[in-house]
Amino acid sequence: MTCFNTGWAYLADYQFWDERTGIITAAVAVIALLIAWRQLWGSRKESRRATAYAAYSKFLELCEQNPNFAYAKEVAIKADSNKHIKYRWFVAQMLFAFEQILDVLPNDEKWNTTITNQLQKHCWHLKDSGSVKREEWNRPLQDLIEDVIK
């Protein structure tokens, strides 16, 4: 038998495995820990992504309900004081949605680009916004706003 000649028969011995039970248990535990950590990290990442998508989806619904505000036509909005008041609340909701996105994904370049593009449409209002002047928004959003209104 080849296994006796090559020494592989030793692997079939109960004592061989009994002596290594502690090492094998530790190795299995480490592997299980790595798998659990990977799943936890993936779940956390997916949760953050879902939060960002939900906030932006709510903003898009708001845009659909108020297309004139979404396009930020300054002259049309300022011409009607009632519209202007509603527009200010629209911008506040927009900034809140962006703040939520940047809270969970502050360094995501795609989100930063998307948010910057939206902020540029509302630049005329953001320049005069009291909440922007008082720096009421989180630092990542405040930085994007300041870059846009310069």
In the chain, how many H helices and how many E strands?
10, 0
Q: How far apart are CA 52 and CA 146, in angstroms?
A: 22
Encode pLDDT of 91-131 as tens digits: 999 999 999 999 999 889 999 999 999 999 999 999 999 99
Total of domains in the chain: 1
Query: Residues near 99 by Cβ (< 8 Å), separated by ≥ 6?
Result: 137, 138, 141
pLDDT for res 106 = 87
User: What number of other Cβ atoms are within 10 A of residue 72's Cβ?
Assistant: 20
Do the domain assignments include residue 60?
Answer: yes
Instruction: Provide the 8-state DSSP code for 21.
Output: H
pLDDT for res 86 = 96
Provide the residue range defining the domain that includes 71.
Answer: 49-149
pLDDT for res 50 = 94
pLDDT for res 17 = 81
Do the domain assignments include residue 64?
Answer: yes
Do the domain assignments include residue 20?
Answer: no
Rg (Cα) of the chain, in Å, rounded?
Answer: 29
Angle 77-82-86 (CA atoms, 0-180°, nearest 5)? 75
Do the domain assignments include residue 31?
Answer: no
Do the domain assignments include residue 105?
Answer: yes
Do the domain assignments include residue 2?
Answer: no
Do the domain assignments include residue 33?
Answer: no
Do the domain assignments include residue 13?
Answer: no
Please name the helix (run of DSSP H) or strand (run of DSSP E) that holds residue 122, with its range, or none: none
Q: Which residues of the chain have pLDDT under 50?
A: none
